[in-house]
Amino acid sequence: MILSISGVVLLGIIAFLFFKKDGLKASHALVCSLFGFYLAGTAIAPSITAGGASLASMLGGIKF
The full DSSP string for 50-61 is HHHHHHHHHHHT
| CA gap 23, 12 in Å, rounded | 15
Closest CA to 18 of 31, 5, 8: 31
pLDDT of the residue at 37: 72
pLDDT class for 1, splitting at 50, 70, 90?
very low
pLDDT score recorded for residue 3? 55
| pLDDT score of 4 | 58
CA 39, CA 8: separation in Å to the nearest integer?
Answer: 7
**pTM of this prediction?**
0.45
What are 2-59's pLDDT values in tens digits? 555 677 778 778 877 877 787 777 777 787 777 777 777 767 778 877 888 898 888 8
